[in-house]
Amino acid sequence: MVTPPNHHGRWLQLSDLVLMEVSSCKKRAWNAGRPVILWKTMAVPGPPLLLLLSLLLPLLLSKASLPAAAYTLTSEQQPQHKILHLDWPKDCGMAHFKPNMAERIVSGNEARPHSWPWQVSLQVRPRGSKQYIHVCGGTLIHKTWVLTAAHCFQKGKAEDAGSWRIVLGKHQLKRSETAERIIPVKRIYRHENFRYPTHSELDYDIALVKSATDIVPSNFIRYACLPRKQTSLKPGHYCWVTGWGDTRGGKENVSLAEALNQARLPIIDFKTCRQKKFWGDRVRDSMICAGFRDTEEPPAACQGDSGGPLLCQLDRDRWEVHGVVSFGPIGCTVENKPSVFTRTVAYIPWIEATRIRDFFLH
């Protein structure tokens, strides 16, 4: 129900998804010396959620000294509407070309072409150059969204979205391929609490990249599923990491792989990974450790794989992106130093809130 208008505007019902941003909005308003925001909360039936264009913005611009209510600026004759669908692709996690999952492929091998169709190459054009270079991997999770790592966009690179592009449908990284699609980047969202390299820890190492146009699925380009909330991985469960990262694991002269590679990795118990001889307190409960404890096996994830997916199949026949390649040891091959991934499940609320924020502000 929408109440009659007053001199501020109209009261509107908000869904729980929008209320995720309320505390953040209040905090920003308070810190900026803006009036306190009062919210009336009511249950709303499911999607689509009909909202008016300027729902969250007026209060941030208000100069009133009294507490204000959440309101919208509308035209009595013709209000402007935007419809927000927070659904995720239902046909996710299914590859047209099935990956080679033979158990012998543990240490890493070239993937079957296009068998990981959600794999993205995020490429940047350095200032003054006409050429793009591969910087990080990523995972296509929606027709306009790619999931990746925040550390891929250091030193102001996140603000310069126009110099980035999304490349999909790739197998051979440096060759032009018929199946490939190149999409400009519209916006980049790093997690607000990511502080590296100002701080040494890689907490909140997650980012979303929004494409400038919708990405159309094909046999070569598809979406990976986000894991369901509260999903946990058992130690010893095998998942797969994919990317064009360095396959030699050297400390110097990093050389990207020509073709997309894959490796089968066991999940390592969190308590084990927190031991001093492993990663100690550098590992948080918002991270996943996966890989091998000794140096007999080649590295699982290395330079150039950053931002790429850790993909797992649980109780259904779909691939879910449970992790984002975050960090590992220098040189990649160090005893008791497995690869560390940002745990996607821990950031589902942030991912959804970022989509909402993008919807309102642009």
* Secondary structure tally for the chain: helices H, strands E: 5, 17
Cβ of 254: how many Cβ atoms within 10 Å? 14
Strand blocks (E) in the chain: 37-38, 49-52, 68-69, 81-84, 109-110, 119-124, 133-142, 145-148, 164-168, 181-190, 207-211, 238-243, 261-268, 287-290, 309-312, 320-327, 339-343
Q: What are the backbone angles phi and psi of residue 280, rounded to the nearest 5°?
A: 60, -145
Q: Reduce the DSSP state of residue 56 to 3 states and report it.
A: coil
pLDDT digits (tens, 9 = 90+) for 127-183: 888 899 999 999 999 999 999 999 999 765 666 899 999 999 999 998 999 999 999
Active-site residue, from 205, 246, 305, 326 = 205
Q: Please tell me whether residues 352 and 210 are part of one structural domain.
A: yes
Q: Please tell me whether residues 187 and 266 are part of one structural domain.
A: no
d(CA 32, CA 59): 11
Q: 100 in a domain, yes or no?
A: no
Q: 99 in a domain, yes or no?
A: no
Q: Please tell me whether residues 210 and 247 are part of one structural domain.
A: no
Could you confirm whether 87 is annotated as catalytic?
no
Q: Please tell me whether residues 328 and 296 are part of one structural domain.
A: yes
pLDDT of residue 230: 77
pLDDT digits (tens, 9 = 90+) for 31-62: 444 444 444 444 444 444 334 333 443 333 33
Q: 228 in a domain, yes or no?
A: no
Q: 104 in a domain, yes or no?
A: no
Q: 297 in a domain, yes or no?
A: yes
Q: Please tell me whether residues 218 and 128 are part of one structural domain.
A: yes
pLDDT of residue 28: 47
Mean pLDDT throughout 292-297? 59
Q: Please tell me whether residues 47 and 69 are part of one structural domain.
A: yes
Q: Please tell me whether residues 68 and 156 are part of one structural domain.
A: no
Mean pLDDT of the chain: 76
Percentage of the chain lying above the pLDDT 90 cut: 44
pLDDT band at 239 (very low <50, low <70, confident <90, very high): very high
pLDDT digits (tens, 9 = 90+) for 69-114: 333 333 344 445 556 667 788 889 999 999 988 654 445 689 999 9
Q: 108 in a domain, yes or no?
A: no
Max mean pLDDT range (134-143, 245-254, 298-307): 134-143
Q: Please tell me whether residues 264 and 307 are part of one structural domain.
A: yes
pLDDT of residue 18: 45
Q: Please tell me whether residues 294 and 202 are part of one structural domain.
A: no
* Letter string b/e over residues 224-245, b meaning 16 or more CB atoms within 10 A of that residue's CB: bbbbeeebebeeeeebbbbbbb
- Say which CATH number the domain at 338 has: 2.40.10.10
322 in Cβ contact with 287 (< 8 Å): no
**Structural domain count, the chain:** 3
pLDDT of residue 8: 45
* Structure-token pair, residue 258: 């020509």
Active-site residue, from 121, 211, 306, 326 = 306
* pLDDT for 216 beyond 50: yes
263 in Cβ contact with 240 (< 8 Å): yes
Q: Please tell me whether residues 287 and 307 are part of one structural domain.
A: yes
339 in Cβ contact with 290 (< 8 Å): yes
Q: 10 in a domain, yes or no?
A: no
Look at residues 149, 171, 51, 199 and name the one whose alpha carbon lies nearest to residue 99: 171
Max mean pLDDT range (43-52, 256-265, 317-326): 317-326
pLDDT of residue 95: 94
pTM of the model: 0.74
**Residue that finishes a domain, picked among 87, 107, 131:** 87
**Which domain covers residue 292, as residue numbers?**
238-344
pLDDT of residue 126: 87
* Structure-token pair, residue 28: 């920003």
283 in Cβ contact with 274 (< 8 Å): yes
Could you confirm whether 205 is annotated as catalytic?
yes
pLDDT of residue 55: 40
